[in-house]
Chains A and B, each alone.
Chain A
Amino acid sequence: MNGIETLTTGFGFWNPIFWVAGFVIALIITWIIWRRGEATYNTSPSSTGPFLSGNAEPQPGEIHVPGGNLYWGFTQALERYYAVIKPLHTGNLADYMLWYMGITAIMLILVVMVP
């Protein structure tokens, strides 16, 4: 069957069918392990709810972590990089034009002047 042909990259290969089959087998094994788990486990909120040092659990609407709070550490670590890159994105059309002209000029020097 043609569908199980392997994608050869010249250096390695990739067979998605086998990968999917392996993934499904792993899922089945996971399910079997889960089925063999403790059947009497109590799933009521009193057993599964978070323990917040004795404080009351906040209402669902109050515990949303907004997207802007994610990757704070990443952006802080690259603060110096972002200090250079962010100001370049001015939103000013004249700056956009300057970048385009500048790259064209550099290319002209490289391609036309360099033999």
Chain B
Amino acid sequence: MTGMDLFANLPGLLLAVPLIFAFATPLIGRYLPRARDGWVLLGMVLTTVIGLLIASAVFTGGTVAYTFGVPDPSVTVPPDSGGIPVRIIFNIDAMSAFMVVIAVVTGLCVMLYSLSAASRSSGKDGYYTLFLLLVAGVLGMVCTGDLFNFFVFLEIASLAGAALVAFRVDKGIAIEAGLKYAMLSTIGGLFFLLGVALLFGQYNTLNIAFLAERMGTTGLTTPDAVALVLFVTALAMKCGAVPMHFWAPDAYAMAPAAVTAFLVVSSQASLYALFRICFSLYGQTLNTVLLGWFIIILGLLSMFIGVTMAILQKDVKRLMAYHAVSQTGYMLLGVGVGLAVLSSPLLLSNFGMMAMEGGIFHIMNHAFYKGLLFLTAGVIFYRCGTRNLNDLGGLGHSMKWTMLFFIIGALAIAGIPPFNGFASKLMIYESVFSFNPLLSIIAMVVSILTLASFVKVFHSIFMGPKRPEFADVTEAPLPMLFGMGVLSILVILFGIFPEQVVEVMVAPAASALADQAGYIGSVMGGA
């Protein structure tokens, strides 16, 4: 295989590498246990390199369409297929590439952190196998251009995620949380599959681009509308939107911290799919105002109920989980406004695109600062053995680096300048204000409440005199600090240079999402 062949097959390798490393991990763990950590780290590093190479190719050269099982993977529609893309296709446009960057960067930081965090646990072979499967599932979800294929990756990610939530058993509480996550994911997945079946029954195809093209000519039928509802509610539930968010605090709180940090990315992959379905599959064929407002209302509920429930919590991870729900609301709000004005080119250019860019930028920012915050919570639990805010205190004396990383994450999530959360929230506030000032005001109030909530966490964990029961507590191990440090640097850099990130990644992602014709053309045009 030449270098060019290898480069042309990168999308296939993006999936194959984490899967191969995942399935080989139990063997390595059995016969070469000392090499296991290096093996899984190598797998994640390779996946990251491949993901970043693909993203770079997409951001510089445009959409990459990759067909599986053919000599020339760029041929999406075989000459003898009657113009139908019959094979499984990865259609990686700027929006998909954006999600790939989030998944691989967060995945690598989490893997580095896990090397220390999981060191005391038994069953590390299973842990790493499941984690790499979760990474593969998420990457498949954000790259695929095929609805059934998406369902398969959704199931891979859900099952691996549920098993990881239950990984630490914890007197059965973690198992209960894992069971809830698995049950809801399965029911949601089956509803999604029912929607896929409704579309397949009508159009005899599963390819999103081809379906969008056919739907554009036939118009929205009743089965299309039913399928849309099944897709939207299943994915909104999977991304933790209120009032279908109840699983999130249970699962996020009980999973090991490293897993929780990546479960956030897994939820965001569902959010990506929700946007992909609304914009690229249905697009102009549906009533975008109605659906846009539905997403906006979900966003408002998520923001407000998420943050007000967070203020009550005494378990630091449960508190952060409610904040994850709340922050998802910002993304739903931004992109929902873009969807609501999609049919009006004037409004879309005036503020709709900016709202979408803000919402999309917030996905990446959230993955980094929320991942960082969950990792700091994990360090606290690793060193102190409790997550209860009433029991913690005075750790600022002995965990200065962890405290610094926590401050960076907390200021970023509260939208305090110059951290990355401020930049994306500013874009959302100002653009959404033009759409409806009340929505923007609610978003700002939620940010203030977020800050208040994290002041409470900061005070409870780090402030006050050193407590006798934590007299022996020391700073986190180096790999954990390194994982948190990388995320902290990203939080700062993306806050200091937001325009560069928006120009290179966010604006192309928002444009790709809004450009349904471009998405269809990248597959049907044989690009």
- Nearest CB of chain B from residue A110's CB, rounded to whole Å: 7
With a 10 A CB-CB cut-off, give which of A16, A86, A91 has the most chain B CB atoms: A16
- On whether the beta carbons of A66 and B393 are closer than 8 Å, the reply is yes
- On whether the beta carbons of B188 and A100 are closer than 8 Å, the reply is yes
Answer yes or no: B442 CB below 8 A from chain A CBs: no
- On whether the beta carbons of B457 and A104 are closer than 8 Å, the reply is no
In the complex, which residues of chain B have a beta carbon less than 8 angstroms from the beta carbon of A95?
246
- On whether the beta carbons of A103 and B467 are closer than 8 Å, the reply is no
In the complex, which residues of chain B have a beta carbon less than 8 angstroms from the beta carbon of A41?
none
In the complex, which residues of chain A have a beta carbon less than 8 angstroms from the beta carbon of B394?
60, 64
Answer yes or no: A5 CB below 8 A from chain B CBs: yes
A10-B430, A82-B312, A103-B244 known; A108 and B460 CB under 8 Å? no
In the complex, which residues of chain B have a beta carbon less than 8 angstroms from the beta carbon of A56?
none
Answer yes or no: B243 CB below 8 A from chain A CBs: yes
Which of A20, A97, A103, A112 touches B225 (beta carbons < 8 Å)?
Answer: A112
A68-B390, A111-B229 known; A7 and B499 CB under 8 Å? yes
With a 10 A CB-CB cut-off, give which of A65, A66, A110 has the most chain B CB atoms: A66
Query: Bound complex: CA of A7 vs CA of B497, how far in Å?
Result: 8
Query: Bound complex: CA of A25 vs CA of B103, how far in Å?
Result: 38
Which of B247, B287, B422 touches A96 (beta carbons < 8 Å)?
Answer: B247
- Nearest CB of chain B from residue A66's CB, rounded to whole Å: 4
Please name the residue on chain B nearest to A14 by beta carbon.
B426
- On whether the beta carbons of A10 and B222 are closer than 8 Å, the reply is no
Fill in one digit per residue for A74-115: 1 if any B CB lies within 8 Å of its CB, else 0: 110010011001101101010111011001100110111010
In the complex, which residues of chain B have a beta carbon less than 8 angstroms from the beta carbon of A78?
308
Answer yes or no: A67 CB below 8 A from chain B CBs: yes
Query: Bound complex: CA of A55 vs CA of B240, how far in Å?
Result: 51
Query: Bound complex: CA of A104 vs CA of B290, how far in Å?
Result: 15
- On whether the beta carbons of B191 and A3 are closer than 8 Å, the reply is no
Answer yes or no: B61 CB below 8 A from chain A CBs: no
- Nearest CB of chain A from residue B59's CB, rounded to whole Å: 16
Which of A9, A71, A88, A112 touches B430 (beta carbons < 8 Å)?
Answer: A9
Fill in one digit per residue for A52-63: 1 if any B CB lies within 8 Å of its CB, else 0: 000000001101
Query: Bound complex: CA of A108 vs CA of B269, how far in Å?
Result: 24
In the complex, which residues of chain B have a beta carbon less than 8 angstroms from the beta carbon of A6?
499
B385-414 interface with A by 8 A CB criterion: 389-394
**B: number of interface residues (CB 8 Å):** 70
Query: Bound complex: CA of A59 vs CA of B20, how far in Å?
Result: 57
In the complex, which residues of chain A have a beta carbon less than 8 angstroms from the beta carbon of B495?
16
Answer yes or no: A11 CB below 8 A from chain B CBs: yes
- On whether the beta carbons of A65 and B464 are closer than 8 Å, the reply is yes
Which of A16, A23, A70 touches B497 (beta carbons < 8 Å)?
Answer: A16
Which of B232, B243, B392, B434 touches A11 (beta carbons < 8 Å)?
Answer: B434
- On whether the beta carbons of A81 and B290 are closer than 8 Å, the reply is no
- On whether the beta carbons of B187 and A10 are closer than 8 Å, the reply is no
- Nearest CB of chain B from residue A47's CB, rounded to whole Å: 20
Which of B291, B392, B465, B466 touches A111 (beta carbons < 8 Å)?
Answer: B291
Query: Bound complex: CA of A104 vs CA of B423, how far in Å?
Result: 34
Answer yes or no: B314 CB below 8 A from chain A CBs: yes
**Residues of chain A whose beta carbon lies under 8 Å from any beta carbon of chain B:** 2-3, 5-12, 14, 16-17, 19-20, 23, 60-61, 63-68, 70-71, 74-75, 78, 81-82, 85-86, 88-89, 91, 93, 95-97, 99-100, 103-104, 107-108, 110-112, 114
Given contacts A7-B423, A96-B244, 20 further A-B contacts (CB under 8 A): A3-B497, A7-B499, A9-B358, A14-B426, A16-B417, A17-B496, A20-B418, A61-B467, A63-B465, A64-B394, A67-B389, A67-B457, A67-B460, A71-B452, A85-B308, A89-B309, A95-B246, A96-B180, A97-B184, A104-B233
